[in-house]
């Protein structure tokens, strides 16, 4: 009986290592403390991506510019309903918004695609008693979104930024397809999460990869898309 229980326990442990755990917050967005402003998406505001309603489950992320690039100051998960984002500003211990500093947005779609702020257009409701500081940070300030549209085209430059390139399915049991299909992919490499080279594939047939021989875990797929470099994270499960 003890032997059976030990085997069951071992099986549960192994499954936990090979089972994908859903992302609970967007990439590179760590909750912080500080003084907050509020950004609201009221009733009737429908954010869009390429002209269609933003998919439910998309992260809408508030970002600010820093010396090390754009950083996250807050986020919400879009669920096809009115929502709000608490944007964290500086409190003396955190590098965040300064009063009057402009903020921007990026989104992370449910498939993991990230659309950067330069591809997002936002407008705000006119300043009134209930809504002020549209697009700039102020402690306890409230900004009311009037329209929010993300538009991205399938260009080589976008691919180089990782905005368009997609691996699907991801997580996968081994067989994946790289899209968009009208791009040429070459010099593909598979690395483990620590950057160690696992496999080299000079050519790609039908934009498909069979990685079923790899153990479950996280990997990096890198190479050239129309001669522009790219790198994407891939999770293999069983």
Q: Residue 62's pLDDT is what?
A: 92
Q: What percent of the chain has pLDDT over 70?
A: 76
Chain segment 40-76, per-residue pLDDT in tens? 998 889 999 888 899 999 999 998 877 666 788 889 9
Q: Please enumerate in sequence order all residues whose Cβ is within 8 A of that of 103, keeping only pairs 6 or more positions apart, or say none.
A: 39, 62, 63, 64, 73, 87, 97, 135, 136, 137
Asked whether the domain spanning 156-236 has the same topology as the one spanning 35-150, the reply is yes
Domain ranges of the chain: 35-150, 156-236
Q: Which CATH number fits domain 156-236: 2.60.40, 1.10.600, 1.20.120, 2.60.120?
A: 2.60.40
pLDDT at 147 over 60: yes
Q: Residue 105's pLDDT is what?
A: 93
pLDDT at 83 over 60: yes
Q: 44, 125 in Cβ contact below 8 A?
A: no
Domain 35-150, what architecture? Sandwich (2.60)
In the structure, what pLDDT confidence band is assigned to residue 139 with cuts at 50, 70 and 90? Answer: confident
| Average pLDDT of the segment spanning 94-108 | 80
Q: Residue 14's pLDDT is what?
A: 38
Q: What is the pTM of this model?
A: 0.57
| Terminal Cα distance for the chain, rounded | 28
């Amino acid at each position: 009986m003890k032997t059976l229980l030990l085997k069951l326990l071992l099986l549960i442990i192994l499954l936990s290592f090979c089972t994908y755990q859903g992302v609970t917050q967007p990439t590179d967005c760590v909750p912080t403390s500080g003084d907050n402003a509020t950004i609201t998406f009221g009733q009737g505001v429908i954010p869009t991506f390429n002209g269609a309603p933003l998919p439910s489950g998309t992260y809408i992320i508030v970002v600010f510019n820093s010396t090390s690039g754009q950083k996250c100051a807050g986020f919400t998960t879009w669920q096809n309903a009115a929502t709000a984002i608490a944007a964290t500003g500086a409190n003396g211990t955190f590098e965040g918004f300064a009063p009057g500093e402009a903020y921007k947005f990026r989104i992370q779609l449910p498939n993991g695609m990230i659309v950067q702020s330069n591809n997002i257009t936002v407008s705000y409701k006119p300043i009134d008693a209930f809504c002020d500081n549209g697009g700039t940070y102020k402690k306890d300030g409230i900004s009311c979104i009037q329209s929010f549209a993300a538009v991205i085209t399938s260009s080589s430059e976008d691919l180089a930024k990782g905005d368009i390139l997609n691996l699907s399915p991801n997580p996968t049991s081994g067989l994946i397809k790289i899209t968009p299909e009208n791009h040429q992919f070459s010099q593909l490499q598979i690395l483990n999460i620590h950057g160690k080279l696992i496999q080299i594939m000079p050519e790609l047939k039908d934009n498909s990869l069979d990685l079923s021989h790899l153990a479950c875990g996280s990997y990096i797929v890198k190479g050239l898309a129309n001669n522009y470099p790219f790198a994407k994270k891939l999770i293999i499960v069983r």
